[in-house]
Amino acid sequence: MRSEQAMMSLIMDTAKEDERIRAVYMNGSRTNPNVEKDIFQDYDIVYVVQETQPFIEDKEWIHRFGEILMYQEPDKNILNSGMEADFAQSYGYLLLFKDGNRIDLHVETKEHMKFHFLHDKLTVPLLDKDDCLPAIPAPADTDYHVKKPTEPTYLSCCNNFWWCQQNIAKSIWRDELPYAKFMMDSVVRMELNKMVEWWIGTQTNFQVSTGKVGNYFKKQLPESYWNQYKATYSNGDYENVWDSLFIAGELFRTLAKDVAEDLSFHYSTTEDENMTAYLKQVRSLPSTAEAIYE
């Protein structure tokens, strides 16, 4: 596997030797001083170019970065899905090489750069042939810190967390596993993750990032809470799904009450207690039941 020094030399030499490339900057985890380096970190590189079309029409140039295992053109995929994409302003290649390195490489015009360069505080300028890159401070991950919720946002999270659990309950009773898993993993978990983030925020004065979809939860939660969180992931067995759902409720309840106390919010115990009782009732129903309550 090529070293970071070798990869950066290749990235920079390519830019220096190609007159069409006028500036280079990097963002992503490699610019974040608070992220530990590891072998899976991408090189998130942007080449500011005179025009993007030559870099799209002739794809041979991407092979100079190494032997490609697989690559993706996300902008093309966006266009193919029926959404709009302006290739004339920017275009990207996600490149995974056979030695394990990966480069997320984008080309963009100066006009596009001027609009996007300052939007990500995790940006480091690497090369500027025309002095076109705006001056920016040292990279910081403050844009990714957990944001303190308002009380209406907090209450909406609590309401949706408890409300959507009845969808899981009826799906289990109907033997509709795909919908039950979707609601658990994509909807209820989204609200649980928000509460986990806010709880971590209250413990750190909202000065940390929890990573993408909770990547850092394991490091930031007490071990007992992390063990509970892990147990909210279920397999395809309905009893396991039920268990994970009740564990999610226990964890959410604990964290939500702490957040409410810390931020002087109101936690609705009525929604919590009523839905928990409803879930217990549905769990006890036989598959031949003709009524939820007799």
Token code pair at residue 291: 């009524």
Please state, in angstroms and rounded to a whole number, the distance separating the CA atoms of residues 8 and 70: 20
What structural domains does the chain harbor? 4-142 (3.30.460.10), 145-284 (1.20.120.330)
CA angle 162, 164, 166 (to 5 degrees): 90
Residuewise pLDDT in 10s, the chain (294 residues): 999 999 999 999 999 999 999 999 999 889 988 888 999 999 999 999 999 999 999 999 999 999 999 999 999 888 777 777 789 999 999 999 999 999 999 999 999 998 888 888 889 999 999 999 999 888 888 888 999 999 999 999 999 999 999 999 999 999 999 999 999 999 999 999 999 999 999 999 999 999 988 999 999 999 999 999 999 999 999 999 999 999 999 999 999 999 999 999 999 999 999 999 999 999 999 999 999 998
Type and span of the H or E element at 213:
none
